[in-house]
């Protein structure tokens, strides 16, 4: 087997490696754990941390309201009137140990659901890498079948001219 035939066969052996390289490249940038999905998850993390800060602020407000209601009888009567449990002139009596008499629904913040990361499915990446490998194979096949001098519309290459041997700059008479 000549070296030229071996080089041509080596190119065809490298086609699956080119497809594998295309798959790795696309997976790294667009895949499930790729850079694009990572950027999306970082944005989601920022959005969730902002919501967590708002929920913590609301929680601190609820704790202050609870402490105020436990310590101050006037605050308890004002709060009960805001909820519609009493009228002006009525007095409230705190009975300890009975628990909560009425369950009042108070919104405690905005509930956020985590979004799935935005990525290209692995099946699509495999198809794109396979298409790249097939295109590389077809390119090499067409190039080999078209003949040595007909590729790119150029005439076949001529070997370079050899310079006459002798001293450089010497003129032959």
Q: What are the extents of the domains in the chain?
A: 13-95+118-145
- What DSSP character marks residue 119? -
Give me the pLDDT at residue 118, please: 79
Q: How confident is the model at residue 155 (pLDDT cuts 50, 70, 90)?
A: low
Dump pLDDT digits (tens) for 86-135: 777 777 776 666 555 455 555 666 667 777 777 889 899 999 999 999 99
- What DSSP character marks residue 151? G
Give me the pLDDT at residue 10, please: 83
Find all residues with CB under 8 Å of 79, minimum gap 6, and list them. Answer: 65, 69
Q: How confident is the model at residue 151 (pLDDT cuts 50, 70, 90)?
A: very low
Whether the model clears a pTM of 0.75, i.e. scores above it, the answer is no
Give me the pLDDT at residue 1, please: 63
Q: Give the residue, 56 or 170, on which the prediction is more confident.
A: 56
Q: How confident is the model at residue 69 (pLDDT cuts 50, 70, 90)?
A: confident
Give me the pLDDT at residue 104, please: 53
- Other Cβ atoms closer than 10 A to 23: 20
Dump pLDDT digits (tens) for 13-55: 888 888 999 999 999 999 888 999 999 999 989 988 988 898 8
Give me the pLDDT at residue 6, please: 79
Q: Give the residue, 136 or 159, on which the prediction is more confident.
A: 136
Angle at 54 between CA 51 and CA 57, to 5 degrees: 150
Give me the pLDDT at residue 170, please: 57
């Amino acid at each position: 087997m000549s070296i030229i035939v071996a080089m041509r066969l080596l190119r065809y052996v490298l086609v699956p490696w080119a497809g594998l390289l295309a798959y790795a490249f696309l997976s790294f940038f667009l895949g499930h754990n790729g850079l694009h999905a990572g950027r999306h998850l970082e944005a989601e993390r920022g959005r969730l941390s902002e919501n967590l800060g708002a929920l913590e602020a609301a929680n601190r407000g609820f704790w202050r309201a609870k402490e105020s209601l436990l310590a101050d009888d006037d605050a308890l009567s004002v709060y009960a009137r805001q909820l519609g449990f009493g009228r002006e002139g009525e007095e409230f009596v705190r009975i300890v140990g009975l628990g909560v008499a009425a369950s009042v629904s108070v919104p405690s913040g905005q509930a956020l659901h985590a979004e799935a990361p935005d990525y290209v499915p692995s099946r699509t990446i495999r198809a794109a890498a396979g298409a790249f490998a097939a295109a590389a194979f077809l390119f090499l096949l067409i190039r080999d079948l078209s003949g040595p001098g007909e590729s790119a519309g150029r005439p076949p290459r001529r070997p370079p001219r050899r310079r006459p041997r002798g001293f450089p700059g010497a003129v032959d008479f």
